[in-house]
Amino acid sequence: MAFELTYSLCFLLILLHLPLFTTSQPYQNISLGSSLVAQDDDSAWLSPSGEFAFGFQRIGNDGGFLLAIRFNKIPEKTVVWSAINGSLFRKGSTVEFTEDGFFIKDFETGEHQFICYQTAVTGVAYAAMLDTGNFVLANQNSINLWESFHYPTNTILPTQTLSRSTVLFTSYSETNYSKGRFQLNLQSDGNLVLYTTNFPLDTPNYPYWSTHTNGSGFQFIFNMSGHIFVTDINGRIVYTVSESDKMASVEDYYQRATLDSDGVFRHYVYHKSNGSIVETGTGAWSTVSFQPPDICTAMEDKGGGPCGFNNICKPDDQGPTICQCPQGYTSIDGNDERKGCKQNFIHQSCDESSPDSHLFVFTEMLYIDWPSGDYEHFQPVEEDWCKKSCLDDCFCAVAIYYNDGQDCYKKGIPLLNGRNGNSTAWKSFIKKRADNSIKERADNCTSKYVTKKEISALVLVGSVLMLIISNLIIFIITYLFFSRLYSKQAKMSDLYPVVQGINLKRFTYLDIKEATEGFKEELGRGENRQDEEQMILADWAYDCYEQKKPHLLIKNDDDEAREDIKNMELFLMIAFWCIQEEPSLRPTMRNVTLMLEGNLEVSVPPNPSSLYVLAK
């Protein structure tokens, strides 16, 4: 009896403490008005255990900051959710939790991008990062008004449930978290389907795997036991996607299921204590299971598949799909092999007057196939006939020969959904230029082929020759310039010996009048037409122009000029520019024409005499 009383009292004490235990969970609540700044100190809002963090994370050494939820206690800091479609933000940007909503504020522009609007979370009291990896906004009654689990990106976690019409999108790549080329869709009819997308749009395109639960599927669940499955409306499992090994319990292992950038949905585990995985004991994420079983053979419709156009796909049970360009092709983007491959040679000419098929050869590859996209099929034919048919066809990039049926398939660019198979019956013949040469067209339309090494040598020799010729031209121009300058100076010295060794003097109009005894000899009409007289005329004309007396230059019988003094001044200014002693100051004939037509402004000319310039 005493035992029963003691048991009842203990039970009662447990019941009395249960509400207190529930309300005193160590949630690190985030109050209204809180914010985080994008910077390199990894500041974040942590879950109670510290296993998950919500905050900014720098992507790459020189990249921007991603607002994300991440595993916080492993070196990889693996991202499981990202805000605003994986957008990157500048350093100094902030995420703010206010009465106006939950938003990111750009550091430079001040632009607000809302994670959720105030109208969606009316009555919100606090936010919290939970130990499940779910970030929530809750009211005073701890009822979640918004949670990241309802808006997944590319990953789901244990305890997470997805309802119908919920979609997961792949990230574009391992370092680019914007939407990629594949999606996992729990459709409104209950069928869980993997699709390619109409990239860069995010609408579904071609399905390549499904659970076939049309009409029965209701929820997609990742439970605490590490099992992933589809249930009907009554909670009964109608399709199992993945079952975690009993050794990989959620107590000992971090778990996640991610739709990776190659279109494969993978279930991963990671040991919490030392990072060891179940099979090998090494520190990394380990793959428990994945769908579809072979991504390379799952896609046979239009599109580039998981590796892009002109590429070859090879599945890997423990990591991302392997992509490899065929011989004669190189990756379009060295940092992203899934963008596909391009030919590294000039393609075959289709000009019948100058065929160049003899300059191409085949590389044979076993087990390789591009199952779709053939534009011609011949059967039954011999292998040599198939190869020659492709060689003579400028549109043919690959010939595939099937031994068993003597089938020949001709395929053009781009090559679709390339894969590495295991059947020796298939042979692929990749056409490329012989000796990996680059074609160069001559002026007479004949073809000349130069190897890459020869081109490198030609470029080097050409560069040296151009440098020598350039230096020679500069030397000749410099020599001619100084020779002409010396000649002019010598000529002026002969004309004006009086100025040697003394200060130069500027002659005014009155000085010239007195020196010429009132212009006794009219220039251009005397017996001696010397250069010095012409120089005196230029200086005298410039003095008249400078003293605003251009009428002194007009003959008494030139009434037309006297009536149009303004144009006469314009012509005089243009003339001064044209007779400048310094050649670099003289305008081109085109500019002279534009000046005379009034289409180019005429600036005030300097005195045309170099002696005048030197005197000043």
Cα–Cα distances (Å) from 97 to 30, 129, 139, in that order, read 8, 13, 14
Beta bridge partners of residue 322, listed in sequence order: 314
Beta bridge partners of residue 431, listed in sequence order: 362
pLDDT at residue 524 above 50?
no
CA torsion angle for 476, 479, 481, 485 (degrees, to 10)?
A: -160
Cα–Cα distances (Å) from 513 to 522, 535, 537, 540, in that order, read 12, 15, 11, 10
Other beta carbons within 10 angstroms of residue 367's beta carbon come to: 16
**Cβ atoms of residues 449 and 359 within 8 Å:** yes
pLDDT at residue 16 above 50?
no
Mean pLDDT of 547-566: 73
Per the listing, tokens 């896609």 go with 299
pLDDT at residue 25 above 60?
no
Running DSSP on this structure, what letter comes out for residue 193?
A: E
Categorise residue 436: left if φ over 0, alpha if ψ from -120 to 50, beta otherwise.
Answer: left
Q: Give the orientation angle of helix 565-578 with respect to helix 589-596, to 10 degrees.
A: 170
Query: Above pLDDT 90, what percent of the chain?
Result: 42
Among 222-231, 248-257, 449-458, the least confident range: 449-458
Of the chain, the end-to-end C-alpha distance in Å amounts to 129
Instruction: Read off the pLDDT band of 280 (50, 70, 90).
Output: very low
Query: Above pLDDT 70, what percent of the chain?
Result: 77
DSSP secondary structure of 524-589 = TTSS---HHHHHHHHHHHHHHHHTT-GGGGS-TT-HHHHHTHHHHHHHHHHHHHHT-SSGGGSPPH
> CA-to-CA distance for 52 and 25, rounded, in angstroms?
16
Name which of 373, 404, 403, 375 is nearest 389 in CA terms. 375
pLDDT digits (tens, 9 = 90+) for 74-133: 999 999 999 999 999 999 999 999 887 888 998 888 888 888 876 667 788 999 999 999
Per the model's pLDDT, the better-predicted residue between 519 and 361 turns out to be 361
Name which of 266, 124, 254 is nearest 209 in CA terms. 266
**Cβ atoms of residues 27 and 128 within 8 Å:** yes
Name which of 207, 306, 302, 203 is nearest 264 in CA terms. 306
Chain mean position to CA 138: 40
Pairing of strands 312-314, 418-420: parallel
Other beta carbons within 10 angstroms of residue 293's beta carbon come to: 12
pLDDT at residue 526 above 70?
no
Query: Which amino acid is located at 518 in the chain?
Result: G
pLDDT digits (tens, 9 = 90+) for 343-376: 999 888 898 877 888 899 999 988 888 888 889 9
At residue 486, the pLDDT reads 62
Beta bridge partners of residue 364, listed in sequence order: 429
- What is the three-class DSSP state of 127? strand
To the nearest whole number, what is the mean pLDDT of the chain?
80
> CA-to-CA distance for 506 and 490, rounded, in angstroms?
20
**Cβ atoms of residues 134 and 150 within 8 Å:** no
- Asked if the peptide bond before residue 414 counts as cis, ω within 30 degrees of 0, the response is yes
Token pair for residue 195? 């699709």
Mean pLDDT of 60-85: 92
Per the model's pLDDT, the better-predicted residue between 131 and 443 turns out to be 131
Note the pTM of the prediction, 2 decimals. 0.66
Running DSSP on this structure, what letter comes out for residue 35?
A: E
At residue 510, the pLDDT reads 66
